[in-house]
Amino acid sequence: MAEGKQLASEATGPLAGVRILDLTSVVFGAYATQILGDQGADVIKLEDPGSGRGDGGDIMRWAGHPPEGAPKDLGPIFLTINRNKRSVLVDLRDPAMRPALEALIASCDVFAASIRYEGLKRLGLDYEAVKTLRPDVIYVHAAGYGSDGPYAGEPAYDDLIQSASGMADLLPRTDGNETPRILPTLVADKVSGLFMAQALTAALFHRARTGEGQFVEVPMLECVTSFNLVENLYDHAYEPPTGQWSYQRVTNPHRKPFATKDGYIGLLPYTDKQWDQFFAVAGWAETVARDPRFADYAQRAKHTRELYAMVEEVTATKTTAEWLTLLKGLSIPVQKTNRFEDLEGDPHLEAVGLFERYDHPHLGPYKAIRPPVKFEKTPSNIRRHPPRLGEQTDEVFAEVRQRSSPE
């Protein structure tokens, strides 16, 4: 087996020098702080021995099936969103730990938490308390619901937020089955994590310009509803509405990978020229030219169901490779439809090196997906393996003592 890639020796990303105290867990907050860690921030993951289901730390440590003989606290989802972090194990309720915890907070630029805010207040870790320790702190709270609304403080998980945000109404609008359904991905957690990473970076930018810290609330329901309605507010953007909810091209049941002789392709002629070329390839040029339903963009948009059904008929007449060669030669947007097991062998993803292999000192070989965003001057990198529970506790507190000791 080939040797794993070496970790980078130092942070080169745009957030190098920023120190984040991370009291997030599961996916939402942890995904956000990993992005910032990849971009150079020193992320100190504070984990509580009494959290989770008795095993301590982030509950995602214990989900999944690590290899036989490997540590059980490095589950697969934890592994994918907790690199470039240091784990510090602290009982937040232990008064004896308070001085060390306060010194740690004072050493950090950012305090990020996904604990419910009332819980943070009980722990003496609300914004006002933290601000007394670090006046210019960026305090980011990953919440389920905005603090001004009636749902404030209620538990929030991906399933609940998909249900409340209208996400569960997408599939019914696609296939006519009126039963609401959850999309089979943690879209609410991951989208909210992206909002959180962006918001935190913007707050750091404001502080760099003004010296001011601030409280930042990132509420899942509001973020995901906003994300969902980018296209799906549609004709309800007007007062009064001029038509339906949802972007009709997107909720078209025929909007899907199209079957070929030996697989599937993603296919989307978009401009008038591309559709004309596709109709010609399909042998429909004369027929479609006389059909007012497909005369221009506006008419095609009204008749996407019929249009996509016709496309589905013709794609089955050639192999995937034949379609890729033919349509890419005409600059018509087309791609092979990958199954999960095809992703590592995809020629583009392989060429850009999206998948990387590392050797964890406790776990052994594991796969990482490198930071996808490319910074020309300040590249993101992977410097630390996902940590064992409490692995850097002594290291971090030694640093804090050194920082706070008189010269």
- 300-329 pLDDT, tens digit each: 878 888 888 888 889 999 999 999 999 999
List of residues 6+ apart from 397 with CB closer than 8 A: 88, 100, 104
Domain-embedded: residue 238: no
Distances (CA, A) of 382 to 78, 311, 321: 15, 43, 36
Query: What is the sign of the dihedral through the CA atoms of 70, 74, 76 and 82?
Result: negative
Q: Find the mean pLDDT for residues 100-106.
A: 97
Question: What pLDDT, on the 0 to 100 scale, is given for residue 164?
Answer: 98
Beta-bridge partner residues of 88: 46
CA–CA dist 212, 199 (Å, integer)? 15
What's the average model confidence in pLDDT over 199-205? 98
Residue 195's nearest CA partner among 264, 112, 303 is 112
Cα separation, 334 vs 322, whole angstroms: 11
The rounded distance, in Å, linking the Cα atoms of 292 and 288 is: 8
Whether residue 181 sits in one domain with residue 298 = no
Q: Compute the distance between CA of residue 125 and CA of residue 118 in angstroms, rounded to an integer.
A: 10
Report whether pLDDT(71) > 60.
yes
| Closest C-alpha to 114, from 28, 201, 221 | 28
Mean pLDDT (whole number) for 342-359? 97
Summarised one tens digit per residue, pLDDT across range 141-189 is 999 999 999 999 999 999 999 999 999 999 999 988 999 999 999 999 9
With respect to residue 134, please indicate whether it lies within any of the assigned structural domains: yes
Q: What is the dihedral of CA 305, 310, 312, 313, to 10 degrees?
A: 150
Q: At which of 281, 311, 336 does a domain end?
A: 336
Q: 235 in a domain, yes or no?
A: no
- Judge whether 217 lies within some domain: yes
**Residue 52: pLDDT band by 50, 70, 90 thresholds?**
very low
Is 82 domain-assigned? yes
Is it the case that residue 53 has pLDDT exceeding 60?
no
Are both 208 and 270 inside the same structural domain? no
**Coil, helix or strand at residue 58:** coil
Domain count, the chain: 2
Q: What confidence tier does 252 reach under pLDDT thresholds 50, 70, 90?
A: confident
110, 207: one domain: yes
Its sign, for the CA torsion 218, 220, 226, 228, is positive
CA–CA separation, 108 vs 399, rounded Å? Answer: 12
Note whether 324 and 393 are same-domain residues: no
Note whether residue 13 is domain-resident: no
In this structure, how many other beta carbons lie within 10 angstroms of the beta carbon of residue 247? Answer: 17
| 89 and 40 co-located in one domain | yes
Do residues 331 and 370 share a domain?
no
Cβ neighbours, 10 Å, residue 35? 25
Is 1 inside any structural domain? no
> What CA–CA distances, in Å, run from 273 to 144, 180, 286, 293, 346?
46, 38, 15, 16, 29
Same domain, 75 and 123: yes
Beta-bridge mates of residue 264: 259
In a shared domain, residues 42 and 183: yes
* Residue 105, domain member (yes or no): yes
- The CATH number of residue 158's host domain is 3.40.50.10540
Q: What is the mean pLDDT of residues 9-21?
A: 98
Residues 26 and 136 in one domain: yes
Q: How confident is the model at residue 100 (pLDDT cuts 50, 70, 90)?
A: very high
Domain that holds residue 148: 19-228+349-404
Quote the CA–CA distance of 169 and 162 in Å, as a whole number: 9
| Alpha-carbon separation of residue 243 from 230, 247, 248, 314 (angstroms) | 16, 10, 10, 31
Domain identity same for 209 and 319: no
For the four alpha carbons of 221, 227, 228 and 232, in that order, the dihedral sign comes to positive
Q: Is the pLDDT of residue 51 over 60?
A: no
Same domain for 296 and 154, yes or no, is no
Last residue of a domain, one of 308, 336, 364: 336
Residues 74 and 193 in one domain: yes
Decide: 324 and 336 in contact? Cβ < 8 Å.
Answer: yes
Can you give the pLDDT at residue 136? 98
What value does the mean pLDDT of the chain take? 94
pTM of the model: 0.94
Q: Which pLDDT score is estimated for 2?
A: 67
- State yes or no: pLDDT of 123 exceeds 80: yes
Of 336, 364, 395, the position where a domain reaches its end is 336
Query: How large is the average pLDDT for residues 100-120?
Result: 97
Query: What CATH number should be reported for the domain holding residue 275?
Result: 3.30.1540.10
